Structure 1
Amino acid sequence: MAQPVFKRILLKLSGEALMGDDAYGINRETVTAIVAQVKEIVNMGVQVGIVIGGGNIFRGVAPAAEGMDRATADYMGMLATVMNAMALQDAMKHAGVAARVQSALNIEAVAEPYIRGKAIRYLEEGKVVIFGAGTGNPFFTTDTAAALRGVEIDAEIVLKATKVDGIYTADPKKDPTATRYDMVSYDEAINKNLKVMDATAFTLCRDQKMPIAVFSIFKEGALKRVILGENEGTRVMA
């Protein structure tokens, strides 16, 4: 069996990735398929941390949140990420994968508080650690949380799992001539405003020399191919 290039990773999942073809909420079949890919690399000995977004849950209440104070809306979004983290943990349990949820907000009835040392110990024990509630602060995205947690747990790479198989010169759904980048620099991603991650996340990864890989979690075996260092998706690095 080929050996993984990366031994410890931070996987960023958007909340929308859990929706499947639904308008909002959690599609169980989609979550099960994602967990199967994670289980495959865990069985290869890869240590996996996951930061998850909450857009799929928050989308259902977005009309009611219109005009709401931004900080209040952001805290609601953080709670949505904890809901997603709990759903993901449950799916992993059913798949035979040991997982722990750590929350940046203090919700001890449903999740452990985020403690860096404990998270690293879980990873070393082969458990998947799912980080909920973003950074715990409003005005920061879960992309930024992924960059931050990736650096904190000494991950070797941040993997941004999307519905698109990499970063393109334009939106491939709108422009059939758009081409995929195999590799792009942090500065180019920031200067060209490539919206796959926000500028704060790109900047943090650049400053800490943390490589990023952007790929489609919906391509069968894509996560494993990234871990093996194969030409899958787009790599962002210096």
Structure 2
Amino acid sequence: MSLLSVEGAVAGYGAAEEILKGTSIRVEPGEIVTVIGPNGAGKSTLLKAVAGLLPLKSGHIAFEGNDVTRENALGRARAGLAFVPQERNVFGTLTVDENLVTSAFLWPAAARGRADALYERYPMLATKRRQLARTLSGGQRQILAMAMGLMTEPRLMLLDEPTAGLSPSAADDLFDAIVTLNKEGMPVLMVEQHAVEALAVSHRGYVVVSGRTEAEGAGEQLAADPDIRRLFLGG
């Protein structure tokens, strides 16, 4: 049984507009899965649909064998999905610690213990726990955003363009953090523009074009495919 299964997803932002036009993907337990494709293909829309931020016009979403198609974002979070958006993913005027504690909204009584556990996992956050989130570097903010997602103890992490705007070294560090998180048992579904690097750390990948799933395969296989390299990976 797949951990996540999206079948024939059709969704958009207006009554007549369809960004997703029958997209289908799956995530198996323990995997990192990356979705790549051109700008405007519907990659981020797909993640929002999975997270419950955008309702499907048709299609189905199952998580851990349960149909969550009609669940809203809160219901998906309770089911075990954590979504880290590309932008505005931390509260800049709150401290690092306040960001973490606030993120345990499903189980506030457990907030302190979970935050302390994340400080052990990410020592950088511990040293900056009293700093405002807006004072962090781009890479540090992304680590904080991932940690905020982990405060709900999810069973699948959804990452939308996690390395957007980061320097090459910060992006490499973030990919390392994602791989480490996965090795510790967290499945990951992410959308990435840094396709070569993302596919290199992924078990599988999908190519989405114009709202449709055009290709699927092992990360290394997709990265080596000459047509995909020419169209999406810069040759």
Specify the TM-score bucket, using the shorter chain as the normaliser: 0.3 to 0.5
Whose strand fraction is larger, Structure 1's or Structure 2's?
2
Choose between structure 1 and 2 for higher RCO, CA contacts under 8 A separated by at least 6 residues: 2
* TM-score, with structure 2 as normaliser: 0.34
